[in-house]
């Protein structure tokens, strides 16, 4: 049950190696001329992205909105943690008073 079952090994047999006949080999020839290098593309003189005043204003407004949304989320999470901490502290004080009253026999 716990013994692995291995697949059967492949039955691939390589083909016979090819023997190169020396009589049909190519005769050495003159070296080929060096290839001509490809032309290098010229970088444009102006930057690829241009910000117009309107697009810069939209970009800044979008960034401001993102900052406000992320800030709101983080402040609300901090507020939730603070409220939870205060409520746990109040519950701890109430329980402590109840236990003290129970030990005094009231």
Q: Does residue 31 form part of some domain? A: no
pLDDT of the residue at 29:
66
Query: Which one is predicted more confidently, 23 or 13?
Result: 13
Expressed as residue numbers, the domain containing 80 is: 64-106
Q: Does residue 28 form part of some domain? A: no
Residues 6+ apart with CB under 8 A from 59: 51
Torsion of CA 54, 60, 61, 65, to 10 degrees: 160
Q: Do residues 51 and 59 make contact, with C-beta atoms less than 8 angstroms apart? A: yes
Total domains in the fold of the chain: 1
Q: Does residue 35 form part of some domain? A: no
List the Cα angle 29/31/33 in 5-degree steps.
Answer: 135
pLDDT class of 14 with cuts at 50, 70, 90: low
Provide mean pLDDT across the span 51-69: 91
pLDDT class of 47 with cuts at 50, 70, 90: low
Q: Does residue 105 form part of some domain? A: yes
Q: Does residue 29 form part of some domain? A: no
Q: Does residue 85 form part of some domain? A: yes
pLDDT of the residue at 53:
86
Q: Does residue 5 form part of some domain? A: no
Q: What is the sign of the dihedral through the CA atoms of 20, 21, 22 and 23?
A: negative
Q: Does residue 96 form part of some domain? A: yes
pLDDT class of 101 with cuts at 50, 70, 90: very high
């Amino acid at each position: 049950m716990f013994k692995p079952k291995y697949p059967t090994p492949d039955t691939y047999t390589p083909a016979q190696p090819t023997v190169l006949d020396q009589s049909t080999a190519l005769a050495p020839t003159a070296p080929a001329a060096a290839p001509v290098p490809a032309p290098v593309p010229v970088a444009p003189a102006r930057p690829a992205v241009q910000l117009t005043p309107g697009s810069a204003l939209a970009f800044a407004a979008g960034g401001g909105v993102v900052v406000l949304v992320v800030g709101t989320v983080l402040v609300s999470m901090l507020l939730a943690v603070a409220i939870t901490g205060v409520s746990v502290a109040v519950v701890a004080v109430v329980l402590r008073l109840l236990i003290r009253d129970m030990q005094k026999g009231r």
